[in-house]
Structure 1
Amino acid sequence: MTTSTRGTARAQAPDAVLVLEDGRSFRGRAYGAVGETFGEAVFSTGMTGYQETLTDPSYHRQVVVMTAPHVGNTGVNDEDPESKRIWVAGYVVRDPARMPSNWRSRRSLDEELLAQGVVGIRGVDTRALTRHLRERGAMRVGIFSGEALADETALLARVREVPAMSGADLSAEVATERSYVVPATGPKRFTVAALDLGIKGMTPRRMAERGIEVHVLPATATLDEVYATAPDGVFLSNGPGDPATADLTVVKGVLERGTPLFGICFGNQLLGRALGFGTYKLKYGHRGINQPVQERDADGGWGKVEITAHNHGFAVDAPLDRISDTPYGRAEVSHICLNDNVVEGLRLLDRPVFSVQYHPEAAAGPHDAAYLFDRFVSLMEDQRA
């Protein structure tokens, strides 16, 4: 929900204001495009990987606040985007780099925001803004600059008219419209049908590195279209929006057939709902590349700890202390977040199915969870045997 104009140099950047739905506002200068934009205010704790964050479709309709004070020092290149465009609704930084300094940089971050019409704001006390969101929760927000500031008394009312993230069905808005294939690197070992709910470009590449030919399908693909690829496994991607709005027909169909299934982020939430668990909106979510997650070991205790990349505002409501009976066999929580005990993974004990709430493909790191793709390969090997 963005209206913008282009052609503003940094030295001439006009005043800008960020207005939260609870009435608090923060003033600064325009960064990127000038105009107005609306979305859900969230914060990301990553100190690196801002280009991957901007181009992650999971951030659709969200205004991202960067907690790291200095952003943009490595510029923007043409190799790291996770999709064909920037998906964030708006961008909030404290102290942007005056000029990029990296051998791969092709242009500055503010030039890229400007070119893609992304309205942002700089010079904001992002520490105070983040503390406010942690205390009050993620909420609707607007950023206004240039002519959009003409009627400041009406800004808050306009922010409160923006649809909330709860109840938002967004996957089809960010997914591919046509199927495409990412070939295996080297000899082909398996075929995977990947349901694009907002998939990042690195995900099929991580599978291709393991000899998997990946058929990326639209979010609206039917069960027949999934199995027309003759898959050895099915993958449920990350994506934006409220999982309660999603159609579970395909997920349940895959579970009934017993095909190896791996889901991440939004895919984890869809699996949880298909198993009969509920989902709920977190107060301010998990977003960043420094989230500690612990895995349940084979004996039912909690073992290895991983540092992981997250981007989710919803979570699965499943019991941590027992195995649950589901229509598809026994299920248990496989991972938890050590910060707040949020469910970070699920697995079935009677079928080749598992999921995690975080991002094992995270290009910017950390790479502690990359082994999960190998686990998916092992499930397909076992199924074939």
Structure 2
Amino acid sequence: MQAYLILANGMVFKGRSLGCQGTTVGEVVFATGMVGFEETLTDPSYYGQIITQTYPLIGNYGMNRQDQESDRVWAKGYIVREACTTPSNFRSEETLDTFLKDQGIIGIEGIDTRALTRVLRESGVMNGAITTEFDPEQQQECLSRLMPAIRKYAVTGAVAAVTCTEPQCFAPTAGVAQGEEPLHIALLDLGCKNNIVRCLCKRGCRVTVLPGTTTPAELAALDPDGLMLSNGPGDPAENVEIIANIRAMLDTGIPAFGICLGHQLTALAAGAKTCKMKYGHRGANQPVTDFALERTFITSQNHGYAVLGNTLPQGVGRVSHVNANDKTCEGIEYQQWNCFTVQFHPEANGGPKDTEFLFDRFLQNVRRINRVKGGR
């Protein structure tokens, strides 16, 4: 069946239906990863967006549940050049098309994704719709019907939509030294990827995943050894109550580590500002310079907003990492709090693992603080 991608600027791309039929509206973005389409589709950070994969062949190693970053697809739609119908991998459980149908996701294949990406790079991300309910012989009428919904669409209430509703507990998956209690890490779920939990559990931690609305009093009652602030979707500045909660949590001196949205919300809690980027960073090939180590790492990223490093109040913290391409802020070391944050994803499963050592650094800090307090 034919399908069409319609952009807010009036451009129409003709392709073939992938996944479910119907019409979906969202913010059209592009991701440059050559692998990791399972992780991309199930990453809650893509809530409200229509994902364009720039790599031409998607689905060639199939879909499997073990590689999912959450239990469902949060994106509004999916765009690929070619969807593989005969995946070849011993772990494959189903095709991309079947998976999208199971998840109720509308997609499109067979369009020129290179041309689409160039449009988004030049004009910036924009709203759009994927539809199988479009008659090219009545194009103006169809556009008149769809354009109001496309143009007024906005990603709002994102964290509330993706966060868990009840605390969830996970046991260590790696050995803990005999006679020692595992570190207890509270993970604030702002749209958390499963691999953040895995990275902590395999380091011998007991993890409690908490709803994004958790209050400082509720966190104090849990009495964790450390706090992780997860990734997540949407405009960070929209989360006024969560920002105030994070400020109060960090004021207690708890060791903390923030990733992606967690990085942005912490910066806002410290008095800095954020901005929407023209087309964001989404892919597994973003170079990030670490000033302290004097090294540049290849990182996986997925964000459309950035912290304005020069708005960080003096004495509160310092920019510790920058993007080697566009010099945007990629990390902050805080002086007023026992906390550091990064914009990229050190836990990335479908991407480079060069910066996974940051989890070890965080846990070393947690252990140091606990020794000072006379704890574990």
Task: Provide the secondary structure at the position in 2 that maps to 1:354.
Answer: strand
**Of 300, 313, 316, which residue of structure 2 is paired with 1:309?**
300
Where does 1:50-65 land on structure 2 (aligned, <5 Å)?
Answer: 50-65=37-52
Aligned residues of 2:3 and 2:130 also touching (Cα < 8 A): yes
- 1:83 and 2:55 are equivalent in the alignment: no
1:252 CA drift (Å): 0.7
Where does 1:5-44 land on structure 2 (aligned, <5 Å)?
Answer: 14-44=1-31
Aligned residues of 1:75 and 1:105 also touching (Cα < 8 A): yes
- Structure 1 distance, partners of 2:123, 2:304, is 14
Aligned residues of 1:75 and 1:101 also touching (Cα < 8 A): yes
Aligned residues of 2:22 and 2:106 also touching (Cα < 8 A): yes
1:244 paired residue number? 237
- 1:373 and 2:359 are equivalent in the alignment: yes
- Structure 2 distance, partners of 1:156, 1:146, is 10
1:5 paired residue number? none
**Of 38, 52, 61, which residue of structure 2 is paired with 1:74?**
61
Structure 2 runs not aligned, ≥5 long:
372-376
- Which stretch has the larger CA shift, 348-357 or 37-46? 348-357
- Structure 1 distance, partners of 2:48, 2:337, is 36
1:285 paired residue number? 280
- 1:349 and 2:335 are equivalent in the alignment: yes
1:319 paired residue number? 310
* CA spacing shift, 1:241–1:288, aligned 2, 3 Å: same
Where does 1:187-336 land on structure 2 (aligned, <5 Å)?
Answer: 187=176, 188-246=181-239, 247=241, 248-297=243-292, 303-319=294-310, 324-325=313-314, 329-336=315-322
- TM-score (ref. length: structure 2): 0.92
1:34 CA drift (Å): 0.8
Structure 2: which amino acid aligns with 1:179? P
- Structure 1 distance, partners of 2:325, 2:135, is 40
- Structure 1 distance, partners of 2:11, 2:253, is 51
Aligned residues of 1:83 and 1:200 also touching (Cα < 8 A): yes
CA distances 1:194-227 after superposition (whole Å, capped 9, x unpaired) = 1100001111110011111111011111111112
Aligned residues of 1:140 and 1:159 also touching (Cα < 8 A): no
- 1:132 and 2:123 are equivalent in the alignment: no
- 1:158 and 2:148 are equivalent in the alignment: yes
Structure 2: which amino acid aligns with 1:309? S
Question: Which is helix-richer, 1 or 2?
Answer: 2
Task: Provide the secondary structure at the position in 2 that maps to 1:269.
Answer: helix
Aligned residues of 2:134 and 2:142 also touching (Cα < 8 A): no
1:147 CA drift (Å): 6.6
- Structure 1 distance, partners of 2:87, 2:148, is 35
- TM-score (ref. length: structure 1): 0.90
Structure 2: which amino acid aligns with 1:259? I
Aligned residues of 1:19 and 1:159 also touching (Cα < 8 A): no
* CA spacing shift, 1:158–1:114, aligned 2, 3 Å: farther
- Structure 2 distance, partners of 1:64, 1:43, is 6
Aligned residues of 1:36 and 1:148 also touching (Cα < 8 A): no
- 1:141 and 2:141 are equivalent in the alignment: no
Structure 2: which amino acid aligns with 1:160? I
1:184 paired residue number? 172
Structure 2: which amino acid aligns with 1:251? I
Runs of 4+ in 1 over 4 A off after TM superposition: 146-151
CA RMSD of aligned residues (A): 1.7
- Structure 1 distance, partners of 2:112, 2:159, is 32
1:337 paired residue number? 323
Sequence identity (%):
43
1:110 paired residue number? 97
1:163 CA drift (Å): 2.5
Structure 2: which amino acid aligns with 1:312? H
Give aligned pairs, total: 361
Aligned residues of 1:19 and 1:155 also touching (Cα < 8 A): no
